């Protein structure tokens, strides 16, 4: 990467960046770290541990935005509306050169609309494309008036956004690429549970995971059960699993995840970017998601498409996925047990994940992988004078 011409004189990039949940915070922290190596940076925004580690003081707690499903949104609607207004005011007052909104699709879209209504003249970039390939393809075109560019973390998304009339979109990879593992099938090791990080996800999945662990926890291939999580959730999860029939280890140290993944026999994961992380670490998995009623209606309306990222990237059912309108532990057990019993089935997933890693590394022929910092700085070169 090379710094743009207007950065060589020491001019500072005024960046406002917002992440509304842990996966976005990780992506945002990676972007800020890359930018810092290229240009002087004035940083403000909303985020969690990763952005705070980069020296940013969050405007308010990131957890205020971590909602999923209509029921969660309704419960927090007054707070979310206030946070949109508060964030828009902070941005228009500080007049950053560029605003990067990382995932949190509904909040990001509403905030971008509010900023446009207020006449904000800086550049708006959306980092993480909306999953228009899974539901509501009409959303792509609606983003075009709002964002100068979308930075996609999945290699097939630029082509999808182009076909659907969305904003210019490029593929920039994912921070998990830096944590790839090369490992063979594990004969005996822990079962890794990833029940999500949002409150609604935990409520819907943890009771079901308890039933699953009670049924398969004594399998001879398993040596313990581990839940990697965030520091903010460590205490809650410790309480939740205290009465489970099988002892569960809660690990909130991010650095320990590589060791956990290296020794894991299998993972059971709620659908999300963590499934991409698991695939790049070559951990065999079963993917699930328990929908709330509104999500279930939308999902059915759009033909109940595949939701797991490994399957979407590889364009084939490499991993079992179970999307449920109501929690059904036996349905998941019926997917988990064959993988525990069959070493060859786990090896087949590991080999598929090698293909996935290569595609993630390079991108597709028409949309090769680019550096996200370079894409942000390209827009800094094109600043409107009114944004200065």
Distance CA 234, CA 252 (A): 6
Residue 387 has pLDDT above 80, yes or no: no
Number of domains in the chain: 2
Same domain, 205 and 156: no
pLDDT band of residue 2 (cuts 50, 70, 90) is very low
Same domain, 55 and 128: yes
3-state class of 174 per DSSP? coil
3-state class of 161 per DSSP? helix
Across the chain, mean pLDDT equals: 90
Torsion of CA 257, 263, 267, 269, to 10 degrees: 0
Residue 388 has pLDDT above 60, yes or no: no
Please report the pLDDT score of residue 73 as a whole number: 60
- Residue 360 backbone dihedrals phi, psi, to 5 degrees: -65, -35
Distance CA 204, CA 69 (A): 11
User: What confidence tens digit (pLDDT) does each residue in 335-351 have?
Assistant: 999 999 999 999 999 99
Query: Cβ distance 282 to 183 under 8 Å?
Result: yes
Residue 384 has pLDDT above 50, yes or no: no
Query: Cβ distance 229 to 250 under 8 Å?
Result: yes
Please report the pLDDT score of residue 255 as a whole number: 84
Higher pLDDT, 66 or 282: 282
Same domain, 322 and 302: yes
Q: Count how many residues are written for the chain.
A: 388
Please report the pLDDT score of residue 305 as a whole number: 83
Q: 72: which 2 tokens? A: 């969660």
Please report the pLDDT score of residue 213 as a whole number: 97
Determine what percent of the chain is predicted with pLDDT higher than 90. 74
Please report the pLDDT score of residue 69 as a whole number: 52
Same domain, 141 and 162: yes
Where residue 89 sits, what CATH number does that domain have? 3.40.50.2000
Residue 138 has pLDDT above 60, yes or no: yes
Please report the pLDDT score of residue 78 as a whole number: 84
Same domain, 205 and 136: no
Q: How far is CA 173 from the centre of its chain?
A: 12
How is residue 38 annotated by DSSP? T
User: What confidence tens digit (pLDDT) does each residue in 143-180 have?
Assistant: 999 999 999 999 999 999 999 999 999 999 998 898 88
Q: Is 267 exposed, middle or buried (0-12, 13-18, 19+ CB in 10 A)?
A: buried
Residue with token string 């541990």: 49
Same domain, 140 and 231: no
Instruction: Choose the weakest-confidence range: 22-31, 64-73, 122-131, 343-352.
Output: 64-73
User: What confidence tens digit (pLDDT) does each residue in 171-224 have?
Assistant: 999 988 988 888 899 999 999 999 998 888 999 999 999 999 999 999 999 999
User: What confidence tens digit (pLDDT) does each residue in 284-311 have?
Assistant: 999 999 998 888 888 888 788 888 999 9
Residue 6 has pLDDT above 50, yes or no: no
In Å, what is the CA distance from 12 to each residue of 6, 38, 218? 9, 11, 57
Residue 254 has pLDDT above 90, yes or no: no
Please report the pLDDT score of residue 168 as a whole number: 97
Domain that holds residue 137: 5-173+369-387
Same domain, 282 and 336: yes
The whole-model pTM stands at: 0.82
Q: 189: which 2 tokens? A: 């090791």
Read off the pLDDT of each residue in 83-92 and give the average, rounded to a whole number. 95
Same domain, 210 and 355: yes
Same domain, 349 and 377: no
Query: Cβ distance 151 to 172 under 8 Å?
Result: yes
- Residue 189 backbone dihedrals phi, psi, to 5 degrees: 180, -170
Query: Cβ distance 88 to 46 under 8 Å?
Result: no
Torsion of CA 345, 351, 354, 356, to 10 degrees: -60
Instruction: Choose the weakest-confidence range: 71-85, 155-169, 268-282.
Output: 71-85
Same domain, 161 and 195: no
3-state class of 94 per DSSP? helix
Please report the pLDDT score of residue 131 as a whole number: 84
Same domain, 91 and 111: yes
Query: Cβ distance 361 to 23 under 8 Å?
Result: no
Read off the pLDDT of each residue in 109-127 and give the average, rounded to a whole number. 95
Same domain, 159 and 67: yes
Please report the pLDDT score of residue 67 as a whole number: 62
Query: Cβ distance 67 to 198 under 8 Å?
Result: yes
Q: What is the CA radius of gyration of the chain?
A: 21
Read off the pLDDT of each residue in 57-74 and give the average, rounded to a whole number. 74
In degrees, to the nearest 5, what angle opens at C-alpha 201 toward C-alphas 173 and 265? 65
Please report the pLDDT score of residue 74 as a whole number: 61
Read off the pLDDT of each residue in 123-136 and give the average, rounded to a whole number. 86
Query: Cβ distance 193 to 201 under 8 Å?
Result: no
């Amino acid at each position: 990467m090379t710094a743009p011409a207007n950065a060589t004189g020491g001019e500072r990039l005024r960046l406002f960046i917002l992440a509304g949940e842990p996966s976005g915070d990780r992506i945002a922290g990676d972007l800020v770290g890359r930018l810092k190596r290229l240009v002087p940076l004035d940083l403000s925004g909303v985020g969690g541990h990763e952005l705070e580690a980069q020296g940013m003081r969050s405007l308010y707690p990131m957890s205020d935005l971590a909602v999923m499903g209509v029921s969660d949104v309704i419960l927090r609607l007054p707070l979310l509306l206030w946070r949109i207004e508060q964030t828009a005011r902070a941005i228009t007052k500080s007049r950053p050169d560029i605003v990067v909104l990382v995932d949190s699709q509904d909040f990001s879209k509403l905030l971008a609309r509010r900023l446009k209504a207020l006449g904000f003249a800086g550049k708006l970039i959306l980092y993480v494309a909306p999953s228009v390939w899974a539901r509501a393809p009409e959303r792509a075109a609606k983003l075009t008036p709002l964002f100068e560019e979308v930075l996609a973390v999945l290699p097939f998304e630029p082509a999808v956004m182009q076909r659907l009339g969305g904003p210019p979109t490029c593929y920039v990879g994912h921070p998990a690429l830096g944590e790839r593992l090369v490992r063979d099938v594990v004969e005996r090791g822990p079962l890794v549970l990833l029940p999500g990080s949002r409150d609604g996800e935990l409520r819907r999945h943890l009771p079901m995971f308890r039933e699953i662990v009670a049924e398969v926890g004594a399998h001879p291939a398993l040596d313990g059960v581990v839940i990697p999580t965030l520091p903010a959730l460590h205490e809650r999860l410790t309480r939740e699993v205290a009465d489970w029939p099988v002892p569960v280890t809660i690990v909130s140290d991010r650095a320990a995840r590589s060791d956990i993944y290296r020794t894991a026999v299998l993972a059971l994961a709620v659908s999300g970017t963590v499934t991409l992380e698991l695939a790049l670490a070559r951990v065999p998995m079963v993917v699930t998601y328990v929908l709330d009623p509104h999500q279930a209606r939308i999902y059915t309306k759009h033909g109940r498409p595949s939701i797991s990222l490994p399957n979407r990237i590889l364009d084939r059912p490499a991993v079992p996925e179970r999307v449920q309108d109501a929690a059904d532990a036996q349905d998941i057990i019926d997917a988990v047990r064959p993988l525990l019993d069959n070493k060859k089935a786990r090896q087949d997933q590991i080999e598929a994940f090698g293909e996935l890693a290569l595609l993630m590394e390079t991108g597709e022929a028409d949309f090769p992988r680019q550096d996200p910092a370079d894409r942000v700085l390209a827009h800094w070169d094109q600043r409107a004078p009114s944004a200065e």
